[in-house]
Amino acid sequence: MKEEKDIIEQITRNLCSYIEGIKDTEEKIDTLNYVRSMLHEVSPMKHHPVDFVAWERSENIEGNDYNPNSVAPPEMALLVTSIEEDGYTMPVVGSPEEDIIRIVDGFHRRKAERKSRKISQSTQGRLPVTYIRESKRELSERMASTIRHNRARGTHDITLMSEIVRELISIGKSGAWISKHIGMDMDEILRLKQLTGIAELFKDREFSVRIINENPDGE
C-alpha cells in the first residue's frame, strides 16, 4: 500500500512539474482540463456532473431560448459584485453540442463574465463548466433540468414557463411526464393552460392526478 502511494505521489509531482513548465496559458488550461477529464473517468463519483469542472472559453458557451429565469438589475449587479469579490463558486451547467456548449443552468453567471472586464480578465476569458448527464441532453430533458434548477431556487418567469410547457406538449410529452420531471402538480399545469391559451394542445388529452400513477414516464 505504501509503495503504491509513493508511486502515485511521484507521478503526481512529475505531472505537476510538467504542467507548471508550460509557458502558454491557454495550453496550460487546456492541459489541466484534459487531466481533470481523465481523472473524472476513473472517479467513483463520476455519475455526479460536478465531479468534473472544466474551464471553457466563454465565446464557445451559448445560452438557450427557453430559460424561464429572470434577474432584476439590482440582483444582477450583486451577482457581478459577488463573482468579482468571491470568484466563481458555482459552475455553469452545460450540454455539449457540435460547435458550442449550450447552457442548461447558469446563464447569468456567464452574463456576469461578459459584463465585467474584471471577471473576464481573472478567468482568462473562460468559464467554469460542468456537463449535464448524457441521458439528460435531449431538448425536453434539458428544458426540464433548467426548470428544476430555477424552481429549486424559487426563480422562474411564468410566461416563459408556459412556453416551455407548450413546447413539451407539442413534442408529445404527457401531463404526467411534465409533472414528474418539472415538479409541477396537475393543477399548476392546468392553470398554465388556462392562462396562456394553450387549451387546443390539451383537447385530446386527459389531465388528472390519476394518470401520474398510471404512467409517470409516459412520452
Q: What is the pTM of this model?
A: 0.70
- Expressed as residue numbers, the domain containing 176 is 157-214
Query: Looking at the 3D structure of the chain, how many domains does it have?
Result: 2
Copy the grid coordinates of residue 11.
Answer: 507521478
Under 8 Å CB-to-CB from 198, ≥6 apart: which residues? 162, 165, 166, 169, 192
Assign residue 56 the CATH number of its domain.
Answer: 3.90.1530.10
Same domain membership, residue 167 and residue 98: no
**3-state helix/strand/coil string of 126-187:** EEEEEECCHHHCCHHHHHHHHHHHHHHHCCCCHHHHHHHHHHHHHCCCCHHHHHHHHCCCHH
Please tell me the distance from the alpha carbon of residue 152 to that of residue 133, in angstroms, as a whole number. 19
Please tell me the distance from the alpha carbon of residue 67 to that of residue 155, in angstroms, as a whole number. 11
Domain boundary pick from 67, 101, 136:
136
Residue pair 37/54 in contact (Cβ under 8 Å)? The answer is yes
Tens digit of pLDDT at every position of the chain (219 positions): 778 999 999 999 999 999 999 999 999 999 999 999 999 999 999 999 999 999 999 999 998 877 656 778 888 999 999 999 999 999 999 999 989 999 999 999 999 999 999 999 999 999 999 999 998 888 888 888 888 876 655 555 666 667 777 777 777 777 787 777 776 777 777 777 666 555 444 444 444 333 333 444 544
Same domain membership, residue 128 and residue 161: no
Q: What SS3 state is found at 103? A: strand
Q: Rg for the chain (alpha carbons), in Å? A: 21
Same domain membership, residue 38 and residue 103: yes
Q: What are phi and psi of 69, to 5 degrees?
A: -110, 130
- 170 in a domain, yes or no? yes
